[in-house]
């Protein structure tokens, strides 16, 4: 295996004879990273192309057999509840297009890295990412036959206000240099934070009856584990090549941890609020997959190279008590302009939140939900009549509290070339002030509406431009999905004789008479 892998990678490399190195590899020096020996890059897996495709084909066979069985058995009726799929709509619109973007850029890097090892690793990851995009679309396409909100995710990814949070993360990474992209995607996203999405969320899919997503998740997780290892190899390679690389890499770790952590805020509210059967709170997941595995496990090893835990990590730790609540309250108030529905948590769910967040939920957030329920019960379910202000860097709503004070919204601002820019946190302000010329160009969805670039000035015109159809958005109770869910399950109970009408002789007689 080692010899075959060497033949497929090292033996395909050569010294250019009639093209200068800088012209052949124009992107590997301008970031200031110094590489002295590209052959030191080690791929810990040494997968050959034929072994790689054979392994992936086996995983695909298992996944597609599950998809077929689930579709033929009307598996969509066995979900915990229709509103569970709101989380899948966010996943499809927010994550799947990122997989395709990652595929394209890793393919680009497989041409432009100057060493055969990283070129081959980038090529394999490029193929992985394309497979993930395809299998995610196929996995969720069955739900598009029965439920709202799945039909237009590619258009919505580029336009809907909250989807600019993950999109701007990748736009930022794609427009960086090749080594910064490796730290952004390979290390910060794949290694530090990916377990927070894939592990608890795919377990929750199983717990909520979503067998296809669970199977897809575990199919992709073996790739993600390989990507995590490659991400770790990437940072070690850069740090071992030259001491001058250390401060550059440290700043990238600081920046991309905070950028990724802000994207993970959407995952936090999915875990805590969008699963009818929750399995693990955001707080538990953060403590297990980030604090224990990364801060206690990884960073002591990186300290030997001079790398410290990310700047602002303490603020992330302090926010674990309030993160999901702050974000879901925004989604509840603005879901009239999203591709999913929201609703007030049930009494059972509120009790679970209280148990999961004993120090904060009952004090700060239970009263808000009590008040929202009181208004909704009186027929006054409300949405805010606009869209939230977005952070200039993370493009996430300005909803996060001041550090140490959950009752005050955090707002930071900086002036650049006579213009004022706003941020949701100290971390985003610090990122902006490192590269203001980059972030002043941010395409902020809310600003674009005011500038007349989003279909028109009214809400119906903007929703049409988003590609949102009736039933995609707003309140879940009484929505198209909720009504269909009740109708389908009434029919199932009727057939099985469990529905109240089925035991009502007068109703049965009337139905026979009508026929």
Dist CA 334 CA 450 (whole Å): 17
Burial class (CB in 10 A: 0-12, 13-18, 19+), 399: buried
DSSP H helical segments within 245-365, as ranges? 245-273, 282-286, 299-302, 313-319, 323-334, 347-356
Q: Which residue has the higher pLDDT, 67 or 491?
A: 67
Dist CA 91 CA 220 (whole Å): 14
pTM: 0.92
pLDDT for the residue numbered 14: 81
pLDDT tens, 397-418?
999 999 989 899 999 999 999 9
Residues 257/425, Cβ–Cβ less than 8 Å: no
Which residue, 199, 169, 238, is CA-closest to 395? 169
Residues 129/45, Cβ–Cβ less than 8 Å: no
Confidence label for 503 from pLDDT (cuts 50, 70 and 90) = low
pLDDT tens, 308-318?
999 999 999 99
Confidence label for 296 from pLDDT (cuts 50, 70 and 90) = very high
pLDDT for the residue numbered 514: 46
Instruction: Please determine, for residue 174, whether its predicted confidence score (pLDDT) is greater than 60.
Output: yes
Q: Which residue has the higher pLDDT, 509 or 490?
A: 490
Which residue, 290, 268, 293, is CA-closest to 281? 268
45-49, 169-173, 358-362: lowest mean pLDDT where? 45-49
Instruction: Please determine, for residue 157, whether its predicted confidence score (pLDDT) is greater than 70.
Output: yes
pLDDT tens, 25-52?
999 999 999 999 988 887 766 777 788 8
pLDDT for the residue numbered 494: 77
Phi, psi (deg, nearest 5) at residue 160: -65, 140
Confidence label for 500 from pLDDT (cuts 50, 70 and 90) = low
Instruction: Please determine, for residue 509, whether its predicted confidence score (pLDDT) is greater than 90.
Output: no
The mean of the pLDDT values for the chain is 90
Q: What is the mean pLDDT of residues 73-100?
A: 95
Q: What is the mean pLDDT of residues 268-288?
A: 95
Maximum distance among all alpha carbons in the chain? 92
Q: What is the mean pLDDT of residues 483-497?
A: 86
Q: What is the mean pLDDT of residues 181-208?
A: 85
Helix 211-241 / helix 245-273 crossing angle, nearest 10 deg: 170
19-28, 215-224, 272-281, 358-367: lowest mean pLDDT where? 215-224
Residues 332/442, Cβ–Cβ less than 8 Å: no
Structure tokens at 297: 């496990």
Q: Which residue has the higher pLDDT, 439 or 201?
A: 439
Task: Give percent of the chain above pLDDT 70.
Answer: 95
Dist CA 146 CA 317 (whole Å): 40
Structure tokens at 22: 């800088």
Q: Which residue has the higher pLDDT, 263 or 493?
A: 263
Structure tokens at 475: 């309140």
pLDDT tens, 254-272?
999 999 999 999 999 999 9
Structure tokens at 269: 């509210």
First to last CA, the chain: 71
pLDDT for the residue numbered 504: 59
Instruction: Please determine, for residue 1, whether its predicted confidence score (pLDDT) is greater than 70.
Output: no
CB neighbour burial string for 200-215, b if at least 16 within 10 angstroms, e if fewer? bbbebbbbbbbbbbbb
Q: What is the mean pLDDT of residues 473-485?
A: 96
DSSP character for 165? H
Q: Which residue has the higher pLDDT, 23 or 202?
A: 23
Task: Give percent of the chain above pLDDT 90.
Answer: 73
Instruction: Please determine, for residue 278, whether its predicted confidence score (pLDDT) is greater than 50.
Output: yes
Q: Which helix (H) or strand (E) holds 341?
A: strand 341-342
Residues 442/384, Cβ–Cβ less than 8 Å: no
DSSP character for 73? T
Instruction: Please determine, for residue 467, whether its predicted confidence score (pLDDT) is greater than 60.
Output: yes
Instruction: Please determine, for residue 307, whether its predicted confidence score (pLDDT) is greater than 80.
Output: yes
Dist CA 24 CA 112 (whole Å): 8
């Amino acid at each position: 295996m080692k010899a075959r892998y060497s033949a497929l990678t090292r033996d395909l490399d050569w010294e250019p004879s009639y093209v200068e190195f800088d012209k052949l590899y124009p992107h590997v020096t301008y970031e200031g990273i110094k590489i002295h020996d590209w052959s030191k890059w080690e791929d810990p897996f040494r997968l050959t192309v034929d072994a790689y495709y054979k392994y992936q084909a086996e995983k695909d066979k298992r996944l597609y057999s599950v998809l077929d069985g689930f579709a033929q058995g009307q598996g969509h009726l066995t979900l915990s509840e229709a509103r569970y799929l709101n989380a899948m709509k966010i996943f499809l619109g927010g994550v799947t297009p990122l997989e395709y973007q990652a595929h394209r850029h890793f393919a680009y890097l497989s041409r432009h890295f100057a060493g055969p090892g990283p070129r081959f690793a980038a090529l394999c990851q490029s193929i992985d990412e394309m497979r993930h995009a395809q299998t995610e679309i196929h996995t969720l396409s069955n739900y598009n036959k029965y439920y709202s909100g799945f039909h237009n995710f590619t258009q919505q990814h580029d336009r809907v206000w909250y989807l600019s949070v993950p999109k701007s993360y990748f736009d930022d990474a794609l427009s960086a240099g090749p080594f910064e992209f490796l730290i952004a995607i390979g290390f910060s996203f794949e290694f530090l934070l990916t377990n927070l999405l894939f592990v608890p969320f795919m377990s929750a899919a199983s717990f909520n009856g979503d067998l296809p997503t669970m199977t897809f998740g575990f199919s992709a997780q073996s790739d993600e584990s390989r990507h995590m290892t490659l991400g770790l190899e990437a940072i070690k390679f850069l740090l071992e090549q030259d001491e001058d690389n250390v401060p550059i890499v440290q700043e990238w770790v600081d920046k991309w941890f905070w950028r990724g952590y802000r994207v993970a805020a959407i995952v936090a509210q999915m875990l805590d609020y969008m699963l009818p059967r929750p399995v693990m709170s955001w707080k538990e997941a953060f403590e297990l997959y980030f604090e224990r595995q990364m801060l206690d496990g990884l960073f002591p090893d990186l300290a030997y190279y001079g790398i410290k835990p990310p700047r602002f990590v303490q603020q992330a730790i302090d926010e674990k008590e309030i993160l999901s609540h702050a974000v879901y309250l925004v989604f509840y108030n603005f879901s009239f302009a999203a591709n999913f529905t929201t609703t007030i948590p049930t009494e059972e769910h509120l009790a679970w939140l209280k148990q999961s967040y004993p120090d904060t939920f009952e004090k700060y957030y239970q009263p808000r939900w009590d008040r929202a329920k009181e208004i909704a019960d009186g027929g006054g379910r409300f949405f805010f009549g606009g869209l939230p202000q977005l952070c200039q860097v993370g493009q996430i709503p300005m909803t996060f509290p001041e550090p140490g004070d959950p009752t005050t919204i955090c707002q930071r601002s900086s002036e650049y070339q006579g213009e004022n820019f706003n941020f949701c946190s100290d971390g985003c302000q610090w990122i902006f002030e490192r590269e203001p010329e980059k972030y002043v160009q941010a395409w902020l969805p809310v600003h674009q509406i005011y500038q007349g670039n989003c279909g028109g000035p009214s809400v119906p015109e903007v929703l049409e431009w988003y590609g949102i159809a009736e039933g995609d958005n707003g309140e879940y109770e009484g929505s198209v999905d909720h009504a269909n869910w009740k109708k389908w399950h009434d029919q199932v109970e009727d057939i099985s004789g469990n529905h109240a009408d089925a035991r009502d002789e007068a109703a049965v007689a009337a139905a026979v008479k009508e026929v």
